[in-house]
Structure 1
Amino acid sequence: METMAAGESHERTELSDLLVSRMDELDLSYRRLEELCLDPESGASSPAAEPLWRRSTLENLAKRRRIKTPDLPQLRALAAGLQLPLDQVRAAAGAQFLGIDTVWSADGKVRALVAGFREMDSEDQEKVLALMRSRRRMRQGD
């Protein structure tokens, strides 16, 4: 994955924004969040467990500087540290780092991951939503 130069800013900032707002809500410092960023699936309870995020990386992310795209264990660790559902953190990371938008159906029961949904014109967005409605009707018929 691409590593971004320090000081450069992202076009999209979903994960950065989520990080900043949640740190504020929980009154967390970068140092404390670093301590909490343990992957719950790789033995976070072990005394030898190492945080998967460093203070400097968290600070760079919060300040919308470019960082290396986080992997799944890092996203799990960040979700644990921020006390958020993994899906919420993963959606924000997908949007910021990969340009993948999470689009939900009106009833909130069908989710689609769509590259560049925000940049689509309204007609193409409606086609995606119609496909999701169609998928929802198909599932109800099962």
Structure 2
Amino acid sequence: MTALSGEAENPRPEATLIRLARQARGLSPEAAAELTPIRLGGSRWREIEKGYKGKSARQDVRAPGLTLAHMAHAVGLSPERLDEAGRGDAAEILREILRQEEEVEVEPAPYADLADPLERAAWEADLPLNDRKKMIDLLRGGRARERQPQPPASERQPVRTDLSDVLRARRLELGLSLEEVAARAVGSGGERLVEADWLGRLESASLAEGEHPEYPQLDALAEALSLHPAQLQELAGIQFMDVHTIWSDDGQTSALVIGDLDEEGLRKVHRLMHLYGKSPSRDGRN
């Protein structure tokens, strides 16, 4: 800064440009300064416009490029106007300010298809992000499976209902509701092992793969309906795993086979059980 003697020199071209643009917008120096993101007060703005500060010993004031660029931006000046005023340094900064403003921050598209009611509901659920994505993946996976071509009806495997039919028939024979059977089906400690809605799906052969009955549930149902546990276990093996129990003619030997056997297959199994039944015991006696 240099001291000026006598009257102040004419303001710098960029200072005059700033003042005219501010006045054109009807802003006071204080109001214009508040529009900038830098630390700039109204008094400092006035000094830059005048080109000096102080009264008795005036000192030259020239705005740094950064300050001038933000002042120009606040009053709507273009970089070209600053170039014309001889302040190319401030013009370059102003160009960068404008470029950053023009950049539209593209937010990543939502993981969900918001036009789909189910995906939108999953996406807006109050759950962690990964859990919401898993829900949407499950929805999409299920729909993809539905779109897969289905084999002709003649080629589809029929749904087995061996256990379902026996349970439903026995419950109706006893005149019990689903809830009453569920209340009776308890474990050794009195804990409830069966729910009525699950039992209803079991009777209608509509259980999901992960809902198939386990041994404790089968034993509890056998007790509740006065059925033999082994019978229910055998029927469950047929319905859910296509595993069949074949008994020998004397009822002393059994064999497990996968899938239905034709007459020839049954004869072979019975022949094997007959041979096995006649084999000597471990102590050497027949």
Q: TM-score by structure 2 length?
A: 0.41
Q: How many angstroms apart in 2 are the aligned matches of 1:138 and 1:27?
A: 48
Q: How many angstroms apart in 1 are the aligned matches of 2:165 and 2:265?
A: 27
Q: Which residue of 2 aligns with 1:103?
A: 246
- The structure with the larger Rg is 2
Q: How many angstroms apart in 1 are the aligned matches of 2:266 and 2:280?
A: 21
Q: TM-score by structure 1 length?
A: 0.79
Question: Offset at 1:97?
Answer: 0.6
Q: Which residue of 2 aligns with 1:18?
A: 166
**Moved segments of 4+, more than 3 Å:** 139-142
Structure 2 residue corresponding to 1:31, chosen from 153, 172, 179: 179
1:76-98 deviations in whole A, cap 9, x for unaligned? Answer: 11111111111011001111111
1:36-74 deviations in whole A, cap 9, x for unaligned? Answer: 1112xx323xxxx2x211111111111221341111111
Q: How many angstroms apart in 1 are the aligned matches of 2:164 and 2:234?
A: 12
Question: Offset at 1:25?
Answer: 1.9
Indicate how the Cα distance of structure 1 residues 139 and 89 shifts in structure 2: closer, same or farther if over 3 A, else same: farther
Which ranges in structure 1 are unaligned for 5 or more consecutive residues? none
Question: Offset at 1:139?
Answer: 5.6
Q: How many angstroms apart in 1 are the aligned matches of 2:219 and 2:262?
A: 33
Q: How many angstroms apart in 1 are the aligned matches of 2:175 and 2:247?
A: 30
Q: How many angstroms apart in 1 are the aligned matches of 2:165 and 2:280?
A: 34
Q: Which residue of 2 aligns with 1:89?
A: 232
Indicate the larger mover: 52-61 or 64-73: 64-73
Secondary structure class of the residue paired with 1:138: coil
Q: Aligned Cα RMSD in Å?
A: 2.1
Q: How many angstroms apart in 1 are the aligned matches of 2:256 and 2:175?
A: 32
Q: Which residue of 1 aligns with 2:269?
A: 128
Q: How many angstroms apart in 1 are the aligned matches of 2:181 and 2:280?
A: 41
* Identity %, equivalent residues: 36
Counterpart amino acid of 1:121?
A: D
Q: How many angstroms apart in 1 are the aligned matches of 2:197 and 2:269?
A: 39
Counterpart amino acid of 1:126?
A: R
Question: Offset at 1:121?
Answer: 2.8
Q: Which has the higher contact order (CA 8 A, sep 6+)?
A: 1
Counterpart amino acid of 1:64?
A: A
Structure 1 residue corresponding to 2:204, chosen from 63, 67, 73: 63
Q: How many angstroms apart in 2 are the aligned matches of 1:137 and 1:56?
A: 48
| 2:255 counterpart of 1:112 | yes
Q: How many angstroms apart in 2 are the aligned matches of 1:138 and 1:18?
A: 36
